[in-house]
Structure 1
Amino acid sequence: MLAPLLFFLGGCKRYLDVAPDNIGTIDYAFRMRKEAEKYLFTCYNNLPQLGTISSDPAFIGGDEFATIYPPGIYFDPALYRIARGEQNKISPFANYWDGGNGGRSYFQALRECNIFLENVDKVPDLTDFEKKRWVAEVKFLKAYYHFYLFQLYGPIPLIKVNLPVSASIEEVRIKRQPVDSVVNYISDLIDESLFYLPDEISNKSSELGRITKPIALAVKARLLVVAASPLYNGNPDYANFKNKDGAPLFNAAVSQEKWVRAAAACKAAIDAAHAAGNKLYTFIPSFGETVTDSTKTVLSITGALTDKWNTETVWGLSNAYVSYIQAACQARVTSGDPSVVENPPSTNESIRSDLAASLNMAEMFYSNNGVPIEEDKQYDYANRFTKLRTAKSQEGFYLKRGYETAQLHFDREPRFYADLGFDGSIWYGLGLYDDSKTWFVEAKHGQRAAQLGAGLYSVTGYWPKKLVNYRNDFGSNSAGYSTRNYPWPAIRLAELYLLYAEALNEANGPGAAYEWIDKVRARAGLKGVQESWSSYAKNASKPSTKEGLREIIQRETLIELVFEGKRFWDLRRWKTAPVYLNTPIKGWDLAQEDAVNYYRVKQLFAPTFTPKDYLWPLSEYALVVNPNLVQNPGW
């Protein structure tokens, strides 16, 4: 977990300003424990702002979200252009190599980590144990910054130590290292950090956010699964990708051992997380609250993300602008209380509603039988868009009773209703526990959730409700929107379970993998994979083969981690990105007042993904400054 920035990182960016005139800056930074701790916080301060529109390409740069384009005054447009196929090598978006366009130079971040490691021995009033712990934390951070660069650029230079000022021009012009060398170096750095990292944070009032052993092991697990995946493991597309000296940057041979190694790393991470008290989140009502079983399931799904520092959070980051995200994802809802007089939607512009979920995501979720809707023998897939139904009493915990909406919104799994808001859906919020106080989304033209002004609306007719804390105060029509914020889940326990299931299946085939995917499904209110497919799927034997279970695990991962910034990376490492990221982004016909015409599918834009998009471009400036670097393929 990472503590709130106001506590942990505030005031650290400009620590060098504390140095008096005529005193060497680095020497002063390590003169005493207090100053050295500020430098430690500076190393932490480089952590990426995951779940942030302006700086996380994996959050807004894929196919999960859509917004008005060109964006309005409330929306930073830069990284959204990645989703629209506008990445470039002149001035790359999310440039974490040089810095700029939503990115910061992670080579500078690595330099700061090395400065700390080179100078921490100078601090006279630092205990030996504390020094070892600080060194372990910075080694982990150094490993993580290398890993972040690796995900973006593939083979990268390794910044093991800082070069001296006297280094020659040729020494400064470092080369990219092969993928296997990069992965092994990052893994070794994490291993070096483990011994002196705590198993968990005991003093939560002052140390929440410091790196722990479960965090380090979880990142190692993710690293090794990525390295074992098709993009990096014997990828024939990169057979001719070499340094200028002819040295290959990718190993041409597929290694099954990499999956075995990844599985072991996942199991170690899970064991450490369990020992530290992590478990899948289950919603527990507050005193006096009465919650139905279906509501409890839905709130267990969303609470795993939005319930602050909950048991499922292995690593949480508090540097994301979560209040901004929640306002962007919040629909303007209608009360089910007949005593509430609804004011016009324009009375509350603090609810922006401008970050929409794509209709593509709505189609991704399972049926209520726990299988894909296109594979379910009982689901009316052919008429999912055109058939209209009226919600009856048995659907009342998910849909507004008596409301007409599309077939696509009926007979879906609990995660569909937990993660998405749409026309006719219930929006769980304050006062949700009886019918007279339930909130609803009504999104057709002229209704409360419809377009407000030039840009304050969902362009698809879907809202990523998953990212909104159900305890937010959105009941007042005229007052400002009040959010209850939470740390962004860099890693949840459910992700580790799914990574482990994937690695086990790839290493040994179906068998042991079922247990771990089924744990995630059970929390989502679904039966196990084998039972669901054998009972309801057109291809009942699909889970019995490695290839079939691979597809199932990938679909389960995309559903469970939707809107969390993982899909962007997973589609790339699986080499399935062209299948999804060349599919048109769709929504409903928002200008219509009646259901028959509103529920017409409209294409918003056609994204483009080509093989070059698997790896980020190095800027042309970087190649001029360092002629020993080679550009990524296709750029």
Structure 2
Amino acid sequence: MNNLYTLCILAALSLTACNDDYLERYPLDEISDGTFWKSAADVEMYANQFYPTLYDARLAWYDIDNASDNQVPRSRNIFTWNEYNIPSTDGGWGKADWLQIRRCNYALDRIGSIPASDALKQAEAEIRFFKAFHYFKKLKKFGEVPWLNSSLTPESEELTAPRDSRETVTNNIIKELDFAINSLPSTSAADRLTKYAALALKTEVALYEGTFRKYHKVGTAHDQLLKLAASAAEEIINSGQFSVFKTGNAEKDFFDLFVQYELKGNPEGILVQRFITDKRMHNNVRQLGEPGTGYSKDFVESYLCQDGLPIALSPMYKGDSKFADEFINRDPRMRQSIYYEDRPYRIYDNGVANNKKMPEFDNSYCPTSYFIIKGYSPYEKDRLPSTSITDDFIFRYGKVLLNYAEAKAELNECTQAVLDKSINLLRDRVKMPHLTVAVGFVDPNWPKWEIAISPLLNEIRRERRIETSAEGERWDDIVRWKAGKLLENPRTLVGAIEPATGKPRVVYPGYPARKWDDKLYLYPIPTQEIALNPNLTQNPGWK
């Protein structure tokens, strides 16, 4: 109801003025600047419009990973195949793409006219959080972008300003988040932002930028950012408010976590997106039933065996000549993330269940036969068009634990105690052996990173890849680690063994190997934007 009311308010919002004395009187049937910005409640109401932008129900998380080495969509991703042309307009830089940041600045320009109070400070903190959130998306896509401190008009000089440095943008994002952390409550009965949501975003920003600067050798102070990432994660951990979801059933808890009808109160939910029948629903379950994508062979081979060893070293590994063999003695998250025929794929309203016979190669469903089931409910009621109400995580405690372990390892501060209160809690959920600081093996199949890393970091990155699969994290990880050359590995483009040939299914037959170009770490700025603002410069490699 709050969202509906807000939309009505904003639809009526009039922000115009003129010099005619008669017309300067506030209209009685509209809300204007002169009548709206009076209290903290007004700012809170205005902030309501940003909550849906945290989670786009039209874009499932698994689609984002189609650009990565984890998944192989039925059609080649034009960006990672270096077939992306510089757009003339839009492309993430158009007017609509800056709208949310402008809306945040619009509110911040007017908050000063409202009498100060703790409630106002809290409402302002929400606006600043959302500004940081949307600027982080800009930073990841374009790198340097203009930092705007106010809403602009057609006459604003900032319209022809150059891009600000990554350091300036990142420092300002963190400044906004620190305001939010210090001003937001620890809990919210109304499902609004809390300080822990702001801390979770801070860990993501600081870890992303810290590792990006380190591996791309740009900017300075990457260690300082990594320390911020670790300390923000540690504050969440030490709060005692969150824990890893588990019931003791290692064979289903990981799967169940992502098909909940109600995540409110879930111990892993720092901030969740709730869906309610006839109020807000989504189509993701139906889409995931026919996604036209699937996990890659390379991703599937990254799962450890149940003894904690990789497939190249474990005597428990049964090989891959038969589809069923791949799932034997593997990390339980594998069967809970990738479809195997021992579970129903569809359960109809009359209780009849349908199990697929595997392997199954179908470009409309899954071209690799490694069907994504993380977040997929088999129940027919959830597959009806745009009627699903399974909730989603915006900030998940499990990811915070991964951020913490990685940041500490990058700082050479990862002790066994750090692992035991982070990654090993995730492994406990599925009853996998603990990761130790002294890894104890050298996996010949560790990714061929452009920049060499320690065995411990290799295993932390493996854990991140497994735990966050199909959650839209992998592309960002590849970018910040300067690991684009991983996409040249042919096994990132093939699927399961085809019984007829005895070889992995090639999804794009007849095409040459994918070739990485470093320009793809950033998107290009549209040509028209550069033409309109001669102070803008293009990202490296784009012509």
Instruction: Give the TM bin, normalised by the shorter chain.
Output: 0.7 to 0.9
Per the alignment, residue 449 of structure 2 pairs with none
- Residue 310 of structure 2 corresponds to which residue in structure 1? 372
The alignment-based identity, stated in percent, is: 20
Contact preservation (8 Å) 1:366, 1:372 = yes
Please give the per-residue CA displacement for 1:10-43, whole angstroms capped at 9, x wherever unaligned: 7628824354995584445436777655432234
Cα 1:234–1:60 shift into 2, 3 Å: closer
| Equivalent residue number for residue 97 of structure 1 | 93
- SS of structure 2 residue aligned to 1:279: coil
Matched residue, 2:285: 326
- 2:242 is the counterpart of 1:263: no
User: Offset at 1:9?
Assistant: 6.2
SS at match of 2:133: helix
Cα shift readout 1:423-450 (whole Å, capped 9, x = no counterpart): x34248869xxxx987632145xxxx66
Q: Name the counterpart of 1:219.
A: 201
SS of match in other structure, 1:529: coil
Aligned to 1:305: 258
Contact 1:377 1:537 in 2 (8 A): no
CA contact (8 A) 2:64 2:472 kept: yes
Q: 1:564 to 1:304 in 2, by over 3 A?
A: same
Cα gap change, 1:88 to 1:269, in 2 (>3 Å)? farther
Confirm whether residue 524 of structure 1 aligns to residue 430 of structure 2.
Answer: yes
Distance in 1, Cα, partners of 2:155 & 2:168: 27
Which residue does the alignment assign to 1:426?
Answer: 343
Q: Among 43, 46, 62, which residue is 1:39 paired with?
A: 46
**Residues 456-467 of structure 1 aligned to structure 2 (within 5 Å):** 456-467=364-375
Q: How does 1:486-565 map to 2 (within 5 A)?
A: 486-511=390-415, 512-515=417-420, 516-530=422-436, 534=440, 547-565=454-472
**In the alignment, does 2:103 pair up with 1:112?**
yes
Alignment counterpart, residue 189 of structure 1, candidates 169, 176, 184:
176
Within 2, Cα distance between the matches of 1:362 and 1:158? 41
Do structure 1's residue 8 and structure 2's residue 3 form an aligned pair?
A: yes
C-alpha contact 1:224 1:262 (8 A) present in aligned 2: yes
* Distance change (3 Å), C-alpha of 1:520 and 1:50: farther
**1:420 corresponds to which letter in structure 2?**
I
Distance 1:51 1:525 in 2: 35
How far 1:175 sits from its partner (Å)? Answer: 1.9
Which residue of structure 2 lines up, in the alignment, with residue 69 of structure 1? Answer: 75
The residue number in structure 1 matching 2:475 is 568
- Aligned counterparts of 1:366 and 1:630: Cα–Cα separation in 2: 45
TM-score (normalised: structure 1) = 0.71
Asked if the contact 1:59/1:564 (under 8 Å) is kept, the reply is yes
User: Are 1:137 and 2:122 matched, yes or no?
Assistant: no
Contact 1:314 1:492 in 2 (8 A): yes
Question: CA 1:18/1:378 → structure 2, altered by over 3 Å: closer, same or farther?
Answer: closer
Would you say 1:416 and 2:398 are equivalent positions? no
Kept after mapping to 2: 8 A contact 1:15/1:38: no
2:528 pairs with one of 599, 603, 621:
621
Separation in structure 1 between the aligned mates of residue 230 and residue 461 of structure 2, nearest angstrom? 16
> Are 1:173 and 2:160 counterparts?
yes
Show the counterpart of 1:633.
540
Which among 311, 320, 328 is matched to residue 385 of structure 1? Answer: 320
Aligned-partner residue type, residue 413 of structure 1: D
* Alignment of structure 1 residues 277-288 onto 2, 5 Å: 277-283=241-247
Q: Which amino acid aligns with 2:94?
A: D
1:429 & 1:282 partners in 2: Cα distance? 25
Shift in Å, 1:91: 5.0
Alignment partner, residue 244 of structure 1: none
Provide, for residues 62-93 of structure 1, a one-character-per-residue CA deviation record: whole Å limited to 9, x for no partner: 233334338xxxxxxxxx54354433322588
Q: Is the 8 A contact 2:54 2:394 kept in 1?
A: no
1:485–1:450 distance in 2 versus 1, CA, 3 Å: farther
Counterpart of 1:116 in structure 2: which amino acid? A
Runs of at least 5 residues in structure 1 that lack an aligned partner in the other structure: 1-5, 71-79, 237-249, 284-292, 331-351, 389-404, 540-544, 591-595
Q: Which has the higher contact order (CA 8 A, sep 6+)?
A: 2
1:602 and 2:537 equivalent?
A: no
Distance 1:173 1:20, change over 3 A: closer
* DSSP 3-state at the match of 1:489: strand
Shift of 1:301: 0.6
Matched residue of 2:398: which SS? helix
Output the CA distance in 2 between the equivalents of 1:193 and 1:610: 38
Q: Which of 88, 107, 122 is equivalent to 2:85? A: 88
Q: Which runs of 5+ in 2 are unaligned?
A: 17-22, 445-451
Q: Distance in 2 between matches of 1:152 and 1:510?
A: 30
Instruction: Give the alignment's Cα RMSD to 1 decimal.
Output: 3.7
Partner residue in 1 for 2:214: 233
Q: Distance in 2 between matches of 1:319 and 1:57?
A: 20
CA contact (8 A) 2:283 2:388 kept: no
Q: Aligned pair in 2 of structure 1 residues 92, 317: CA closer, same or farther (>3 Å)? A: farther
State yes or no: 1:363 paired with 2:271. Answer: no
Distance 1:97 1:482 in 2: 30
